[in-house]
Structure 1
Amino acid sequence: MSIELSRQLPRTDAAIPWQGHRPAGAVARVLVSRVGTGLAAVLVTAALLLPDRLERLTPGAFARIPVEAIGGAALLLVLRPRARRIVAALAGVALGLVTLLNLLDMGFHSVLARPFDPVLDWILFDDAEAFLRDSIGPAGATGAVIGAGVLVVVLLALMALAVVRLSHVVARHSAVATPAALVTGTVWVVCAALGVQVSGAAVASRTTADAVHGRVEQVRAGMADREAFAKEAAVDAFRDMPGDRLLTGLRGKDVLFVFIESYGRSAVQDPEMASQVGAVLADGSRRLGAAGFSSRSAFLTSPTTGGGSWLAHSTFASGLWIDNQQRYRDLTSGDRLTLTSAFRRAGGWRTVGIMPGVTRAWPEGRFYGLDHVYDSRNLGYKGPKFSWTPVPDQFSLAAFERLEHGRAGHGPLMAEIILTSSHNPWAPVPTMLGWNQLGDGSVYESVKRAGKDPKEVWKDPAQVRTEYRRAIEYSLNSLFSYVETYGDDDTVVVFLGDHQPVPTVTRNRLGRDVPVTIVARDPAVMERISGWGWQNGVKPGPDAPVWRMDAFRDRFLTAYGPR
């Protein structure tokens, strides 16, 4: 009876609600699932095609076919479920790591004009955190560090989840995925054979595979470099030179080696700043000449650019090419004779360092043979920081005069002086004051308030270049004024840049050269380098001689050694 009755009842949507359409919840779940799959595909594809430089981050870079996606899909199709899940998760983490390295490469190319070294560059993050702390404050730096850590964790987790999700989709729709992979693979091979490109980038992409291969070669080269460096360091013509035969041509002189931060060829040749910096240099030559000094200039090729000043300092002093942190560690843990330690071995000089950028213990001072190091904590400065720069250049030079050079009855001095006011971010820039107005540096409070905010400056590359130029002008004027005011017949100054500024300023032009100048009042000092072919004045012209920076030590010790 009930069966018959049920057959006679009308069949309506109200009686059977799931027929004719899906429940709203089911539709939403399907939609969310498809959106999630689409986002996973976008994330993985973007990671596989992500370039390692900001200037290559264009739409065309992502309009390509990644061979890794084709190979990955083929592999997932043949694996059993459990193995597929494990492989997909591991592949996702690996892809996340490659993406992270590409992002680091973008940053390193933007600042140091080179890729990130996964073996040697981790120490630079400590310097980056210190730079952020000085530029945007402790709270901002802490927030940036925490944010970067969270980003790393999220990136690795999302990439692993994305690849696992796509692996499920590929396995569930293997009937479609298999021919799709074959067709896409065929298209990739054809595009590779024909060299098809989009916006200058090959359509047949193997970006991630090449990146992984490059990292492996980078690590292998780094390991081999240590052995090569040991062989280079073993050769030293001055290792056993007796002290009484060193620096005989400079006996009785006060010799100052002065590094001007980021003072590169761009400062004297880039059309946007060459005329203004050139005017400062021309005025410096005139002022020094009026004070009885002569000068000669050329260029040195630095082992670094954009940063890593200590690599340049150690190259200049040691006569070895120090272009990575491992070489620096090996050098400073040894007993290589440096320019500065040569003065100590020779005897007759007190050797000091003026290091305003050093804010904590600096054990390398012993390696450089410095009798005493004055850092930012004991120069007597009580004024404000200028972004990264702990002490303005003029005050650093005044402190050297007060603490060492101006002391009555002092003997010959050798000083390594680092001028840091031209250090990135170049804002605010100090201004020249009267030498008798500096006091303890408190006077700089109003100078800093009148300067520019670095966060505003860095919104516009043109402003960055302008402030860089102004910072270089300030550093040069500080030095010229010091020599003009306090220099005497026994003063010898060697001043140079450590490296070119960041690519925002250089725009990857004019290489890695930095100006170098020797200034002295005694004609006999300048006569010793007459065979170098250096140009007159404190500004080297475009055709001035160019030496590698590691060549300077031997040529200097030879020129001023016994004849």
Structure 2
Amino acid sequence: MPAFTRVLARLRALPRPRGLARLRGPGRPRVLARLREARDAHPAAARGLRRTVHVLAAVLVVGALLMPNTAPSLRPGGFTRIPAEAIVGAVVLLALPRRPRVAVAALYGAAIGVLTVLNLLDIGFYEYLGRGFNLVLDWGLLDDAQAYIEDSMGRAAAVAAAVGAVLLVLLLVVVMALATVRLGNLLARHRNRATQGALIAGTVWITCTALGVQIAGLPVAADRAAETAQGQTERVLDTLRDEAAFAKEARKDSFGATPPDQLVPDLRGKDVVLAFIESYGRSALEDPLMAPGVIDTLDARTSALARAGYRARSGWLTSATYGGSSWLGHSTTLSGLWIDNQQRYRTATNSDRLTLTKAFQKTGAWDTVGIMPGVQKAWPEAEWYGLDRVYDAFELGYRGPKFSWSTMPDQYALEAYQRLEHGRGHDRPLMSEIILTSSHQPWAPIPEMVDWEDLGDGSVFDAIQKAGKDSSDVIADADESKEEYGRSVQYSVDALTQWLERYGTDDTVLVFLGDHQPIARVSGHGADRDVPVTVVARDPAVLEKIEDWNWTEGLRPAKDAPVWRMDAFRDRFLRAYGSVPHPTGNKG
């Protein structure tokens, strides 16, 4: 024992490392010493500052616990409620000794920070896609969001947004943890009063719950954070359960075993064009700011096509997506499956499901072509869709400027289709899928129609693009976003119907529709998911086949025209044109 005492004495006699000297004892940093001096010299100001920090920490934590997950719910009344999670947290922290209390408070605060991030993600997803954030499926869409910002506002803005988002997440989690630790220490220093306050708050919460007390239409007793955690958990569980159920559903196909000679026999010899217009939704025809111009365009183009010998019928489809994720709308329309998330999309595209385009390919009576100006990377889905040849953004010969996200104007894409496929002459008719992207957000700058003879390689659009509006200005103004969105839809409809008027024949059948409604700030919060769908042809027999659909005559569907779910279109179309169902996958 004496030997141990001597060793300990020698260790104590050793000089301290500088770092430790700075952290402990009389050698602590000068900054901390000056702060203490200032606090001692101005006790009232220090006390006021300390109380202010306490209040800010409480406001931050309570505000996070009450934070809603939709933009319309972000109103002052929503933050005047009593959060059950704050009461429970206070009770737990009061019951713990110092070290466990600090650890639990930090973890609790970090968890609140994570829930706040999830609420912010929900707000963004509801604004753009009309649904909440899915923890299982939606991380890949964040990359798409960055790419969209880069295309719309430049690479610097995209990098800044990505870095800012990461820093915001880290800051929220760290600051929330520090705030709860501070509040936990405050509760411990005033244990008696804090215990009484927690008891009173709990009694008030229970009483308000029992009586249903409300302020501004909201219950005073709140459990928002628990609702957020429960909602996210249920989404994850629903997603996991849905995977197996949807795979089974995808195997059941009414036309999966139909022989080639019994698929679309009533369209033999026709060139069938199926075109999707980006974000072409019901709002374009009904919103007071957008509708007048769009309706005028649809009516004018109906008359122009009639003079060229074409007739049209129009109705409504309810899209599987909203605000974005266009591929979900495309795949739903063509597969007859309700594909409303990325997991379903992956399952469907890895199945043997007969798509509408593949039905034409399977007959051997059509060549199938895809015009995809929005595709800028490998696209293996082409085989599932049944497309013999796909032209992506780099294969259409365009040398002009991009129009924000859209790689090329719709008019050019249609002229390239005419040059490369439709006007080239084939031994068999064409079944073509065309994606038109000029009406993709942010709707600035917007192309303008030019003389078809002047399109060339697209360089003619340089001056139009430079003279167009700046996307950042349009994004910042909701009304201007609506107006420019309406103009972009007018442009897309003009380009498509002028192409038909110019290049269509007696054997051309055009089917065009929107893939989804525009984002909520344009279509309106709570807007439906309906999109217009139209069939145009010169041959009267083509429209006679769909007479019992009761669609509206012309390019503009009546407000009360029939509304189908988008996944119903494939089967209705196949049946209308003579296809005979031969189901697969009904066993097991």
TM-score normalised by structure 2 residue count: 0.90
Instruction: Give distance in 1, aligned partners of 2:155 and 2:172.
Output: 25
Residue 28 of structure 1: CA displacement?
Answer: 5.5
What root-mean-square deviation, in Å, do the aligned CA atoms of Structure 1 and Structure 2 show? 1.5
Tell me what 2:60 maps to.
43
Do residues 299 (structure 1) and 316 (structure 2) align? Answer: yes
SS in 2 for 1:411: coil
Tell me what 1:218 maps to.
235
Instruction: Give distance in 1, aligned partners of 2:52 and 2:111.
Output: 24
Instruction: Give distance in 2, aligned partners of 1:69 and 1:227.
Output: 39
The one-letter amino acid of 2:182's match is R
CA contact under 8 A between 2:290 and 2:485: conserved in structure 1?
Answer: no
CA contact under 8 A between 2:251 and 2:352: conserved in structure 1?
Answer: no
Instruction: Give distance in 1, aligned partners of 2:310 and 2:43.
Output: 87
Residue 458 of structure 1: CA displacement?
Answer: 2.3
Do residues 131 (structure 1) and 148 (structure 2) align? Answer: yes
Tell me what 1:8 maps to.
none
Instruction: Give distance in 1, aligned partners of 2:248 and 2:456.
Output: 50
Q: 2:357 aligns with which of 327, 331, 340?
A: 340
Farther-moved stretch of structure 1 (479-488 vs 169-178) = 169-178
SS in 2 for 1:123: helix
Cα 1:337–1:409 shift into 2, 3 Å: closer
The one-letter amino acid of 1:203's match is V
Farther-moved stretch of structure 1 (136-145 vs 262-271) = 262-271
Cα 1:92–1:510 shift into 2, 3 Å: closer
1:55-107, CA deviations, whole angstroms, 9 ceiling, x for partnerless residues?
21112111111111001000111123222222111111111110000011111
Q: 1:372 aligns with which of 382, 385, 389?
A: 389
SS in 1 for 2:518: coil
CA contact under 8 A between 1:380 and 1:399: conserved in structure 2?
Answer: yes
Q: 1:260 aligns with which of 256, 273, 277?
A: 277
Instruction: Give distance in 2, aligned partners of 1:460 and 1:85.
Output: 46
Instruction: Give distance in 1, aligned partners of 2:305 and 2:527.
Output: 28
Instruction: Give distance in 1, aligned partners of 2:427 and 2:216.
Output: 66
Tell me what 2:519 maps to.
502
CA contact under 8 A between 1:404 and 1:410: conserved in structure 2?
Answer: no
CA contact under 8 A between 1:394 and 1:479: conserved in structure 2?
Answer: yes
Aligned residues: 543
CA contact under 8 A between 2:251 and 2:353: conserved in structure 1?
Answer: no
Q: How does 1:240-251 map to 2 (within 5 A)?
A: 240-251=257-268
The one-letter amino acid of 1:52's match is N
CA contact under 8 A between 2:83 and 2:224: conserved in structure 1?
Answer: yes
Instruction: Give distance in 2, aligned partners of 1:287 and 1:378.
Output: 31
1:285-306, CA deviations, whole angstroms, 9 ceiling, x for partnerless residues?
1111111111111100101111
The 4+ residue runs of structure 1 with deviation greater than 3 A are 25-33
SS in 1 for 2:517: coil
The one-letter amino acid of 1:424's match is Q
Q: 2:90 aligns with which of 47, 64, 73?
A: 73
Farther-moved stretch of structure 1 (297-306 vs 75-84) = 75-84
Query: Which residues of structure 2 form unaligned runs of 5+?
Result: 1-37, 581-588
The one-letter amino acid of 1:358's match is V
CA contact under 8 A between 1:316 and 1:552: conserved in structure 2?
Answer: yes
The one-letter amino acid of 2:510's match is V
Residue 394 of structure 1: CA displacement?
Answer: 0.3
Instruction: Give distance in 2, aligned partners of 1:495 and 1:466.
Output: 22
Cα 1:44–1:22 shift into 2, 3 Å: closer
Query: Which residues of structure 1 form unaligned runs of 5+?
Result: 1-20
Do residues 423 (structure 1) and 440 (structure 2) align? Answer: yes
Residue 517 of structure 1: CA displacement?
Answer: 0.4
Farther-moved stretch of structure 1 (274-283 vs 193-202) = 193-202
The one-letter amino acid of 2:236's match is V
Instruction: Give distance in 2, aligned partners of 1:371 and 1:225.
Output: 32
Cα 1:254–1:37 shift into 2, 3 Å: same
Do residues 89 (structure 1) and 106 (structure 2) align? Answer: yes
Residue 27 of structure 1: CA displacement?
Answer: 5.4
1:361-387, CA deviations, whole angstroms, 9 ceiling, x for partnerless residues?
111111111111111111111111111
SS in 1 for 2:228: helix
TM-score normalised by structure 1 residue count: 0.94
Do residues 279 (structure 1) and 296 (structure 2) align? Answer: yes
Tell me what 1:5 maps to.
none
Instruction: Give distance in 2, aligned partners of 1:493 and 1:334.
Output: 28
Instruction: Give distance in 2, aligned partners of 1:411 and 1:436.
Output: 27
Cα 1:22–1:326 shift into 2, 3 Å: closer
1:449-499, CA deviations, whole angstroms, 9 ceiling, x for partnerless residues?
111112112222111111011000000000110000000011111000011
Residue 49 of structure 1: CA displacement?
Answer: 0.9
Do residues 393 (structure 1) and 393 (structure 2) align? Answer: no
